[in-house]
């Protein structure tokens, strides 16, 4: 059995602490600060702070399937915590150890080294995985929807360090042309012959005796087992284990933002970030956009549309007008979504939609408490009514306030939904956000959105 994951995690941690030492030593060298026991203590405190923040942000979790941009975004809160630690230390020591200038140099060096170091480490691992080195052999058990999805994910992502041994199941999967290794009675044989490292059980038909046998065989050869539970069919990705007396009980759907402290943190983030946007961006950009809209076409600057908010409550959503005045949003008796090269869109409107600047006035909705900076995107009332009848669990996305941007949009699911599958994926990502919210996830989504705005989004039209 390989221990690649733990080795990778330990190696990444050691590399980061080495980079911190280089940044700290470089700061002392640049500023001419003499080394002393107090300075070394200072450094140990910074290392402790990094360890604590990295554990909370899960910086060193398995990164095989993550893009580099995701790891880079996770790095940011850890750097911010370093800054906070420096500020606290300066206050306590009254700048006797490291001055503000030295702290700025340290953070600049640390940021540069971390970004470069993580990029080079990722490229190093990708090069090894593409050559078949340090890969993990995975065996799938099952023949259902989740087995099919997992098969496609692993088969199409060889560069992430996973090698699919094959699938075992009582009946051959219809979606697999090769790789079927036989029935469950061959489990032990397959594990031994293929040196299986992990076994993922996706079979909802497996009874207690079957699962016990699979676990016994895997334990015999020290194979790591993961199980995709049958209750995933309820479309929930966050479960909570409780005890009802002496009985274990699973709460299928947890909503972190139902907790008062969490909602207070999110509201504080919304208001503070909105204030900064108003002061530094909206104050000068709004008049320019408003003037451009009025010069380009007749009609008001704002476009107001009724949309569904938290709990399905209707509110008036603000946007910069991007379509010709009095353009219809109904076609053939159904909601008329914006399509590519839509004739209703003005020249200025096309630029605003491409750059996402048309959503900027929704900061007003955020301040009024009708929306949040991050959350499931609100849909027009008619669109929501039509969609809830076709998409399972659609209304679950309304357990929280809608957002100017969201997890679905940050992952590329925005714009026109040409089929039900695209809307299902968007709703699936929205529900994942509802169930997995935390403060750093909001920060991550904001940064991913900013990155997508700079990079450009093919679905922005």
Average pLDDT of the segment spanning 384-410: 87
Give the pair of three-digit tokens for residue 285.
């950009």
DSSP line for 79-106: HHHHHHHHHHHHHHHTTSSS-HHHHHHH
250 in a domain, yes or no?
no
- Our count of domains for the chain comes to 3
pLDDT band at 416 (very low <50, low <70, confident <90, very high): low
Six-digit token string for 438: 């935390």
Closest CA to 180 of 216, 139, 212, 215: 139
Q: Tell me the mean pLDDT in the region 441-456.
A: 83
Query: Under the phi-then-psi rule, with left for phi > 0, alpha for psi from -120 to 50, and beta for the rest, what region is 416?
Result: beta
The answer to whether residues 290 and 280 touch, using CB atoms and an 8 Å cutoff, is no
Residue 3 is predicted with a pLDDT of 46
171 and 83 in one domain?
A: no
What's the DSSP call for residue 415? Answer: S
| DSSP state for residue 402 in the 8-state scheme | -
Q: Give the separation between CA 112 and CA 335, rounded to whole angstroms.
A: 49
Please report the pLDDT score of residue 315 as a whole number.
93
**Residue 239 within any structural domain of the chain:** no
Q: What is the CATH number of the domain that holds 169?
A: 3.40.50.720
Same domain (yes/no): 338, 429: yes
- Mean pLDDT is highest, among 150-154, 228-232, 352-356, for 352-356
Domain boundary among 71, 97, 130: 130
User: pLDDT-based confidence at 252, cuts 50/70/90?
Assistant: low
pLDDT at 349 over 70: yes
Q: Do 161 and 122 belong to one domain?
A: no
Neighbours of 410 (CB within 10 A): 22
Exposed e or buried b for every residue in 222-252, given b needs 16+ CB within 10 A?
A: ebebebbeeeeeebbebeeeeeeeeeeeeee
Do 349 and 395 lie in one domain? The reply is yes
Shared domain check, 142 and 125: no
Kindly list the distances between the CA atom of residue 146 and the CA atoms of 141, 252, 295, 418, in Å, as whole numbers in the listed order: 10, 18, 53, 24
For 32, 61, 348, 379, the CA distances from 265, given in Å and listed in that order, are: 41, 25, 36, 25
Higher-pLDDT residue of 9, 222: 222
**Cβ pair 117, 19 in contact under 8 A:** yes
Last-in-domain residue among 212, 228, 244: 228
Helices vs. strands in the chain: H and E counts, helices first: 15, 12
Which residue, of 103, 130, 157, is where some domain finishes? 130
Give the mean pLDDT of 208-221. Answer: 84
**Is the Cα dihedral 291, 297, 299, 302 positive or negative?**
negative
* Mean model confidence pLDDT for the chain: 81
pLDDT at 182 over 90: no
Q: Does pLDDT of 417 surpass 70? A: no
Q: What confidence tens digit (pLDDT) does each residue in 287-309 have?
A: 999 999 989 888 889 989 899 99
Angle ∠(293,296,301) on CA atoms, nearest 5: 25
Predicted local distance difference test score (pLDDT) of residue 394: 85
Instruction: Indicate if 31 and 58 belong to the same structural domain.
Output: yes
Q: How far is CA 153 from CA 61, 375, 381, 384, in A?
A: 19, 27, 35, 31
End-to-end C-alpha distance for the chain, whole angstroms: 50
User: Smallest Cα–Cα separation from 376: which of 317, 460, 308, 313?
Assistant: 308
- Asked if 254 and 350 count as a contact pair (C-beta separation under 8 A), the reply is no
| pLDDT tens string 93-125 | 776 667 788 888 999 999 999 999 988 887 887
328 and 431 fall within a common domain? yes
Average the pLDDT over each of 225-234, 308-317, 396-405 and give the range with the smallest value: 225-234
Mean of pLDDT values over 192-208: 80
Quick one: average pLDDT of 241-260?
A: 69
CB 337 within 8 A of CB 426: no
Say whether pLDDT at 231 is over 60: no
Rounded-to-10 torsion of CA 65, 70, 71, 77: -150
Q: 252 lies in a domain?
A: no
CA angle at 98 for the pair 95 and 103, rounded to the nearest 5°? 110
Residues 43 and 90 in one domain: yes
Each residue of 414-452: b (16+ CB within 10 Å) or e? bbebeeeeebbebbbbbbbbbbebeebebbbbbbbbeeb
The alpha carbons of the chain give a radius of gyration, in whole angstroms, of 26
Res. 312 pLDDT band, cuts 50 70 90: confident
Look at 327 and 225; give whichever has higher pLDDT.
Answer: 225
Q: Map tokens 């593409």 to a residue.
A: 130
Q: Is residue 190 part of a domain?
A: yes
Q: Do 19 and 96 belong to one domain?
A: yes
Confidence band, pLDDT 50/70/90 cuts, at residue 156: low
354, part of any domain: yes
Same-domain check for residues 328 and 411: yes
17 domain-assigned: yes
236 in a structural domain: no
The share of the chain scoring above pLDDT 70, in percent, equals: 82
190 and 50 fall within a common domain:
no
CA 424 – CA 23 distance, rounded (Å): 46
Q: Do the Cβ atoms of 432 and 375 come closer than 8 Å?
A: no
- Do 69 and 199 sit in the same domain of this protein? no
Q: Which residue has the higher pLDDT, 459 or 175?
A: 175
* Domain span at 294: 258-455
Name the pLDDT band for 461 (thresholds 50, 70, 90): very low
Inside any domain, residue 233 = no
């Amino acid at each position: 059995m390989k221990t690649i994951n733990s080795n990778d995690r330990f190696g990444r941690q050691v590399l980061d602490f080495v980079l911190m030492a280089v940044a700290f030593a470089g700061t002392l060298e640049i500023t001419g600060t003499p080394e002393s026991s107090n300075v070394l203590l200072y450094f140990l405190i910074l290392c402790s702070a990094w360890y604590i923040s990295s554990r909370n942000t899960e910086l060193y979790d398995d990164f095989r399937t993550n893009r580099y941009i995701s790891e880079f975004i996770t790095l940011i809160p850890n750097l911010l915590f370093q800054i906070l630690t420096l500020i606290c230390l300066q206050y306590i020591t009254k700048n006797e150890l490291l001055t503000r200038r030295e702290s700025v140099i340290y953070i600049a060096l640390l940021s540069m080294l971390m970004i470069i170091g993580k990029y080079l480490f990722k490229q190093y691992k990708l090069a090894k995985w593409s050559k078949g080195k340090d890969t993990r052999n995975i065996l799938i058990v099952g023949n259902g929807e989740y087995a099919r999805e997992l098969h496609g994910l692993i088969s199409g992502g060889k560069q992430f360090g996973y090698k699919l041994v094959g699938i075992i199941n009582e009946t051959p999967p219809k979606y697999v042309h090769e790789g079927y290794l036989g029935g469950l009675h061959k489990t032990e044989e397959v594990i031994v012959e293929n040196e299986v490292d992990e076994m993922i059980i996706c079979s909802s038909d497996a009874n207690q005796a079957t699962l016990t046998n699979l676990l016994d065989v895997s334990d015999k050869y020290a194979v790591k087992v993961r199980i995709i539970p049958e209750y995933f069919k309820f479309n929930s990705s966050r479960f909570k284990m409780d005890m009802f007396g002496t009985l274990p009980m699973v709460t299928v759907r947890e909503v972190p933002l139902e907790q008062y402290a969490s909602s207070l943190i999110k509201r504080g983030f919304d208001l503070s970030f909105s204030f900064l946007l108003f002061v530094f961006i909206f104050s000068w950009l709004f008049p320019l956009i408003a003037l451009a809209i009025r010069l380009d076409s007749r009609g008001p600057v704002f476009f107001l549309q009724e949309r569904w908010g938290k709990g399905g409550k209707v509110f008036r959503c603000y946007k910069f007008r991007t379509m010709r005045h009095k353009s219809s949003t109904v076609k053939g008796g159904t909601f008329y979504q914006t399509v590519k090269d839509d004739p209703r869109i003005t020249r200025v409107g096309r630029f605003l939609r491409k750059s996402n600047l048309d959503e900027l006035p929704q900061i007003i909705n955020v301040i009024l408490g009708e929306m949040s900076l991050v959350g499931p995107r609100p849909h027009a009332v008619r669109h929501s009514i039509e969609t809830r009848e076709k998409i399972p669990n659609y209304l679950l996305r309304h357990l929280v306030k809608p957002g100017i941007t969201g997890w679905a949009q940050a992952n590329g699911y925005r714009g026109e939904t040409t089929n039900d599958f695209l809307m299902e994926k968007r709703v699936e990502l929205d529900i994942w956000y509802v169930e997995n919210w935390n403060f750093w996830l909001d920060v991550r989504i904001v940064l991913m959105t900013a990155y997508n705005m700079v990079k450009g989004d093919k679905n922005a039209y």
